[in-house]
Structure 1
Amino acid sequence: MSTTARRAGNPAKLALTPSQTVGPYLSIGLTWPDGPEVAAPDAPGALVLSGRLIDGAGDTVPDGMLEIWQADAAGRFDSAEDPRGALATPGFRGYGRSLTDAGGRFWFRTVKPGALPDGEGGWQAPHVDVTVMARGLLDRLVTRVYFADEEEANAADPVLASLPAAARDTLLARPTADGYALDVVLQGPGETAFFRL
């Protein structure tokens, strides 16, 4: 209770404590030694996955962080916990973090992942799992990046199929000269589809 409220003797008229935003503390303790280098530049099939982080007003977010985790080109994770057996692709780590720059841009050097079993006897289309953190977010946001040129696999993907058509489009990275690009929109028109875990 504030001193003013105690003096007034009326605690029922206290205002709520102002909420606090998160960050921007991402560069203090959440950087990753290899940063956005998920794959070595000379890894077979190395490409750049890039984009911008955009807020609800359409402005870029200069102090955000995106984290990705993905399978390699054969659809296997560089982990002993992969039930199909780990496949350590040379120069591939499968994990990376990219801080957004002053223009809200992020990038990862990686490889296009292979398809993954869906646990039901089918397959998930090639995709990258993404976590988004930024000032003002009280919890992380989770989404996926799929690849627009994987039409057949995307059409059969159970996660994409569960979304309305407009939401599916927000997850499709388009080919560029050096890889793929997709902007992540936090809210408003064109908002990226995010998932509850």
Structure 2
Amino acid sequence: MIDEIKEDAQQRMKKSVEALQVAFNKIRTGRANASILDSVMVPYYGEPTPLKQVANVTVEDNRTLMISAWEKNLTPAIEKAILTSDLGLNPSSNGGIIRVAMPMLTEETRRDMVKHARNDAENARVSVRNIRRDANGDLKELQKEKEITEDDERRGADEIQKVTDSYIAEIDQLLKKKEEDLMAV
């Protein structure tokens, strides 16, 4: 029983960390990174479709992404989708190829993005702590129903705390790496 609760908590904490990584991928660093366009949806035969399912996105150089649509008639729709996304990018097309130049980040923009990254990391920490609280509540419930002993409940709470600490440390490490990326000129 304790192992099942611990395993469930670990899986949910892992999903919180993965969600943080997705959020960090959306924060641009000034360097070209194909994952920044993961959230862009392109209308494809009337259905919103992720960009990476209708085009090939590659990094041309440090500051430029190159997008080649698999169907040439999609090029204007892809351009429009990138323009209307909240990424602040300005695509330019040349025949069937779209190039997206990553704008230089000002110091103020970098600081704003670091604040945004810290906010995302704090939300992930809160999520992990809430999962810990839920798991500890489940342990207390089992102990109250006399399915486990008080010692087992304490031991389980200690194990869940160790798991929580490891995921919090992973979140802190991800945030530190993202801050370094954002502040690098």
TM-score by length of 2: 0.20
Q: Which has the larger radius of gyration?
A: 2
More strand per residue = 1
